[in-house]
């Protein structure tokens, strides 16, 4: 395992900053009581950790009220809370063709809800005017993937936010691949709901994610259970975060996430520069190989460090297996839980090989991948 | 010793107010609301010095966090009694 070259950061950031690991270990040992489920010191301490994490996340995303952030296990959970908590029978939803299954399946699962898939171009970019054109009188929600986990393409959320504002329709942004990589300010971008992963670019532990819900968004609970508040009632509390946060929250993990966010804040420009450099190096190397097809933009602009490619005559899964077994390089092959995105770029049959860079990768990791791919060509 | 109990709907609210109050050098503790003054099943309170009540109330108001009640506690002969506190 020590020799593994990890290029699957879009799935999760495997290597974490030391401060994150230390915070997780410390609070797992010392603050593992159940937050909000007692008045004893250990429980109160765990609650304070969660509040500190909410404040840290709120500052990071330009959110004025930390209580509007609901913690959950991952982006999928956050998207489910947001979509299922908002839409009702008879509603119409606009989504993009770059959505992850956590959006497309959640919307498609509702029998009495119609949806329109706004097509991105072959490189994975949406035209915001197409979003505008897809809006109907009964459109209740727009859900847009900020940065694709297949092509790395970054959508113009600011323009889409203006469209959502014009029509007074909530905009839910899937920031699984962007939170921590691309600056996000929910107020400036007119984002009504933001679903984010804690364990990817924000460098937190696995099992951390969250949903921001703007104050004017009337959201219903999706999960029901204990909240440590208003226990005498058979209904869920109406206030956030309790309304959407049933069950025990992993306070040590969110303390470690806060540590990760602070790390990202301190190193933001360094992270961006390094990931840009590594992505450019990877793109340049792959584009110079004759039998390799790179999907998404060949340029660095408006993209994150996610690069999908195929090798002529080779099955992506076979490539991934060889890279793993022979070269100890971790990449991901297939459809990446994003069938719509693969339909968009024309790779629904077999998918692609995806390499995704992170802050802890080195140029030599990219060179090792390029050499291994060259041997596969 | 007299303390004030400022009651909130949830520990999240109490925790938010406590941390914000501490930024104004107003130090409080947080605890489960005693049953005698609890307005519902699982409420939490901030316990502070009586003279700090206006500061904590101001912080709550600024954060738009509703206070469910304020009580003063008094301990006499080992027994704690509570009396409502009128903020106005």
End position of a domain, from candidates A266, A299, A322? A266
Domain shared by A211 and A357, yes or no: no
Q: What is the CATH number of the domain that holds A24?
A: 3.40.640.10
Alpha carbons A357 and A366: distance in angstroms, whole number: 9
DSSP secondary structure letter of residue A147 = B
End position of a domain, from candidates A266, A282, A299? A266
Tell me the nearest-neighbour CA distance from B68 into chain A, angstroms.
Answer: 12
Domain shared by A282 and A318, yes or no: yes
Residue A10 lies in domain: 5-16+268-376
The answer to whether B18 contacts chain A (CB < 8 Å) is: yes
The answer to whether B40 contacts chain A (CB < 8 Å) is: yes
∠ at Cα A73 (A11, A142), nearest 5°? 80
Closest Cβ–Cβ partner in B15, B31, B40 for A232? B40
Question: Are A226 and B6 spatial neighbours (Cβ–Cβ below 8 Å)?
Answer: no
Alpha carbons A95 and B87: distance in angstroms, whole number: 50
Taking all residues of chain A, what is their mean pLDDT, rounded to a whole number?
96
Domain shared by A290 and A208, yes or no: no
Residue B51 lies in domain: 3-84
Closest Cβ–Cβ partner in B16, B30, B40 for A44? B30
End position of a domain, from candidates A236, A266, A296? A266
- H-helix or E-strand containing A69? strand A69-72
In tens, the pLDDT along A36-62 reads 888 899 999 999 999 999 999 999 999
Cβ <8 Å between A228 and B31: no
In tens, the pLDDT along B14-69 reads 999 999 999 988 999 999 999 889 877 788 999 999 999 999 999 999 999 999 99
- Total domains present in chain B: 1
Domain shared by A279 and A227, yes or no: no
Domain shared by A47 and A170, yes or no: yes
Answer whether residue A2 shows pLDDT above 80: no
Q: Tell me what pLDDT residue A5 has.
A: 97
Cβ <8 Å between A237 and B9: yes
The answer to whether B16 contacts chain A (CB < 8 Å) is: yes
Domain shared by A308 and A262, yes or no: no
How many C-alpha atoms does A121 have within 13 Å on its Cβ side?
A: 11
The answer to whether B43 contacts chain A (CB < 8 Å) is: yes
Q: What is the CATH number of the domain that holds A354?
A: 3.90.1150.10
Q: What is the CATH number of the domain that holds B69?
A: 3.30.70
- Total domains present in chain A: 2
């Amino acid at each position: 395992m020590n020799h593994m070259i990890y290029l699957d950061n879009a799935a999760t950031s495997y290597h974490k900053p030391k401060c994150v690991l230390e915070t997780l270990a410390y609070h797992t040992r010392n603050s593992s009581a159940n937050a909000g489920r007692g008045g004893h010191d250990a429980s109160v301490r765990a609650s304070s950790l969660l509040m500190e994490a909410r404040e840290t996340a709120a500052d990071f995303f330009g959110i004025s009220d930390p209580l509007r952030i609901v913690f959950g296990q991952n982006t999928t959970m956050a998207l489910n809370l947001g979509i299922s908590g908002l839409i009702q029978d008879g509603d119409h939803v606009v989504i993009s063709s770059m959505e992850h299954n956590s959006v497309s399946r959640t919307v498609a699962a509702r029998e009495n809800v119609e949806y329109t898939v706004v097509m991105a171009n072959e490189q994975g970019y949406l035209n915001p005017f197409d979003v505008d054109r897809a809006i109907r009188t009964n459109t209740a929600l727009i859900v847009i993937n900020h940065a694709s986990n297949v092509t790395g393409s970054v959508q113009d959320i600011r323009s889409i936010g203006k469209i959502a504002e014009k029509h007074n329709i909530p905009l839910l942004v899937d920031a699984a691949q962007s939170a921590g990589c691309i600056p996000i300010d929910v107020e400036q971008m007119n984002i009504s709901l933001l679903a984010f992963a804690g364990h990817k670019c924000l460098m937190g532990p696995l099992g951390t994610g969250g949903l921001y819900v703007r104050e004017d968004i009337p959201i219903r609970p999706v999960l029901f259970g204990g909240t440590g508040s208003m226990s005498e009632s058979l209904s869920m509390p109406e206030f956030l975060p309790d309304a959407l946060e049933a069950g025990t929250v992993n306070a040590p993990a969110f303390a470690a996430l806060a540590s990760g966010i602070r790390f990202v804040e301190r190193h933001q420009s360094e992270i961006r520069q390094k990931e840009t450099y590594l992505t450019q190096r990877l793109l340049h190397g792959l584009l110079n190989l004759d039998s390799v097809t790179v999907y998404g933009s060949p340029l660095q602009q408006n993209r994150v460090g996610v690069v999908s490619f195929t090798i002529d005559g080779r099955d992506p899964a076979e490539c991934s297996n060889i890279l793993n077994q022979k070269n100890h390089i971790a990449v991901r092959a297939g459809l990446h839980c994003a069938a719509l995105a693969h339909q968009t770029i024309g790779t629904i049959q077999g998918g692609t090989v995806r390499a995704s860079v992170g802050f802890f990768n080195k140029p030599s990791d990219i060179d090792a991948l390029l050499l291994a791919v060259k041997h596969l060509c | 010793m007299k303390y004030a109990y400022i009651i909130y709907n949830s520990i999240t609210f109490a925790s938010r107010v406590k941390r914000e109050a501490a930024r104004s050098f107003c130090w409080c503790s947080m605890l489960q609301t005693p049953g005698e003054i609890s307005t519902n099943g699982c409420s939490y309170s901030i316990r502070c010095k009586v003279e700090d009540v206006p500061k904590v109330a101001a912080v709550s108001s600024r954060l738009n966090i509703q206070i469910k009640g304020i009580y003063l506690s008094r301990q006499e002969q080992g027994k704690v009694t509570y009396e409502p506190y009128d903020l106005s």
